[in-house]
Amino acid sequence: MTIPPIETVRDDAPRILLLLGSAPDAVRCEPWPKQAFSRIVAINNAWRVRPDWDFLVHSGDFPSDRLPHDATLRQARIFSATQYVPAQNAFGGFVYAGATMALTAAYWTIHSQKPDVLAFLGCDMIYDRPDKTHFYGIGRPDPLRDDVTLRNLEAKSARLLVQALKHGCLCINLSDLPRSRLVFPRLAFDALGGLSLTRIAEMKADILGSLRLDKAEKAEEIEKDLGYFYEDGMYWNHLDEIDETFLADIDGLWMSAVEQRRAG
């Protein structure tokens, strides 16, 4: 598995992007200054949290009446399946990456925006408040649906962590919730200002030192050998070709790759 060198540090400021989901705690970012981020990427309804988002990535079945009213004026900043399917394909496709928008939008952002840091908020995929699953009330817990690609969300986030590092991106979680399906390192918002390129390189090196890259490499080898790749993204038309036992084995390898870091 090839990880880009991290000891070479640029002279410019790091590109830190905020990926904003719709969990109730997403509203924590309302007072955060925009200049803390190079760009803000909102997922589905999260564009309603604050008005200064840069990109909106929404699912293919997202209701049109829930899009921003000025969608025609901001068309160049609103993206859906036409853009995110090729991006997710570049990272192996939906079956292995996981077909829920927090993951899909993350892969799109890494592919198209090439951030140094991708900071997640409102994407923990924990739904223990039945009275308010999302910041706007009760929504659909999409990641928990019965789907062959979403049997182990922690494993899918472990895969994303490694794939992001391969592309020079550090994934972090700004959540202050006690639980998360994301296995990324936690960081408080106030600490973002101290993330120089040198510090980011140190954090990447620390994470890489805790990973079992041999397990990650084995997972990638099995993914390629199985060939569960569907260019149009419509994996649900090929469920008879997909063996869930093999996918569970792959998930196990991704979890093994990050096990030491999680234990620490």
Tell me if 131 is assigned to some domain.
yes
Q: Does the pLDDT at position 72 exceed 60? A: no
Q: Does the pLDDT at position 132 exceed 80? A: yes
Instruction: Give residue for tokens 């510090």.
Output: 199
> How far apart, in whole angstroms, are the C-alpha atoms of residue 187 and residue 110?
19
Tell me if 6 is assigned to some domain.
no
Task: Kindly report, residue by residue over 148-183, the tens digit of the pLDDT.
Answer: 999 999 999 999 999 999 999 999 999 999 999 999
Strand partners, 78: 56
Q: Which of 97, 67, 74 is nearest to 84 (CA)?
A: 97
If you ran DSSP here, which 8-state letter would residue 142 be given? G
Tell me if 5 is assigned to some domain.
no
Domain holding 116, by residue range, is: 16-263
Tell me if 9 is assigned to some domain.
no
Q: Does the pLDDT at position 6 exceed 70? A: no
Tell me if 11 is assigned to some domain.
no
Tell me if 23 is assigned to some domain.
yes
Q: Reading across the β-sheet that carries 170-173, which strands appear in turn?
A: 78-79, 55-57, 39-43, 16-20, 117-121, 170-173
Percentage of the chain modeled with pLDDT above 70: 92
Tell me if 159 is assigned to some domain.
yes
Tell me if 7 is assigned to some domain.
no
Q: What are the backbone angles phi and psi of residue 118, rounded to the nearest 5°? A: -115, 110
Total-model pTM:
0.93
Q: How many domains does the chain have?
A: 1
> How far apart, in whole angstroms, are the C-alpha atoms of residue 206 and residue 208?
6
- State the pLDDT at residue 71: 58
> How far apart, in whole angstroms, are the C-alpha atoms of residue 188 and residue 171?
13
Mean per-residue pLDDT of the chain? 92
- Residues 229 and 88 sit within 8 Å (Cβ to Cβ): no
